[in-house]
Amino acid sequence: MICFPRNIAVFLLALLFRASSLAQDTTFINFADLASADRFSHLCQDGSLLLSGVPLRLEPLHACDGATAYCGGLSVQGQAVVVDARQFTNNLVAVEAIVTDACGKACTAISGLLAGQEVIRSANQAAAEGIVLRFEVIPGSIDAVRFTSFEGRIQSLQMLSVVEPPVPRLSVTRTESGLQFTWSYAYSGWRLEQAQKLGTGTWSPIGIQALRDDCDQMTVTLASDTGAGFFRLVSP
């Protein structure tokens, strides 16, 4: 909020922005690519791997039903593949995996972890191919995803996150002609609106065509006697 001296007509100006709906971004990890490049074996041998820019690591588990530790062919037994999700933590809203399982006793699962503790889990219910395991999370509630299986294979993993689109910065300066509003030409489709008051006020276009100046800025100049009001940029 910017306060103007009372000796000019517009003495109070609020700069408001209307952001468009949040966009969804997906990070897709194709474990089948590991098999074709024999990189899953590398993960098994070294215990860590970078895939699609996302760090993976192996983590030992307690044996289940006498299963011995095994890693290979996109399958793990007695171990877990842990996906580091810290780079998505603040925007992550859902995790989805496609797996194949021969057990059918909830022995293939994906889990959401926070500081090493499981906070959410999705497991298979029957033996099948192409099983979709999915859970939704509140952004910031997990920092890793763990895949465990004793008779299954992981095919792919998707990290679904939301990204708030950028909004323009609206600036105002006092000139000899009046009040000049400016914003980046990258947002040339946005329009300037005015209201006499907030809450119950009605927003209306100012009715003046914004012009592009030599500095790649969109500009609108209002006369000093425009009167008190509130202004905002609105996306198309």
pLDDT of residue 119: 93
Q: Whole-model pTM?
A: 0.59
What does CATH list as the number for 23-163?
A: 2.60.120
* Residue 166 pLDDT greater than 90, yes or no: no
Highest mean pLDDT among 12-16, 103-107, 180-184 belongs to 180-184
* Residue 226 pLDDT greater than 90, yes or no: no
Confidence of residue 20 (pLDDT cuts 50, 70, 90): very low
For residue 63, what are the CA distances in angstroms to 66, 107, 108, 121, 149? Answer: 6, 12, 14, 19, 11
Confidence of residue 62 (pLDDT cuts 50, 70, 90): low
Q: Say which residue, 152 or 24, is predicted with more confidence.
A: 152
The arithmetic mean of pLDDT across residues 107-127, rounded, is 89
- The string of pLDDT tens digits covering residues 68-102 is 667 777 777 777 889 898 888 778 889 999 988 88
Q: Tell me how far apart the alpha carbons of residues 223 and 206 are, in angstroms, rounded to a whole number.
A: 12
For residue 143, what are the CA distances in angstroms to 18, 79, 117, 134? Answer: 31, 19, 10, 16
Domain ranges of the chain: 2-20+166-234, 23-163
Confidence of residue 14 (pLDDT cuts 50, 70, 90): very low
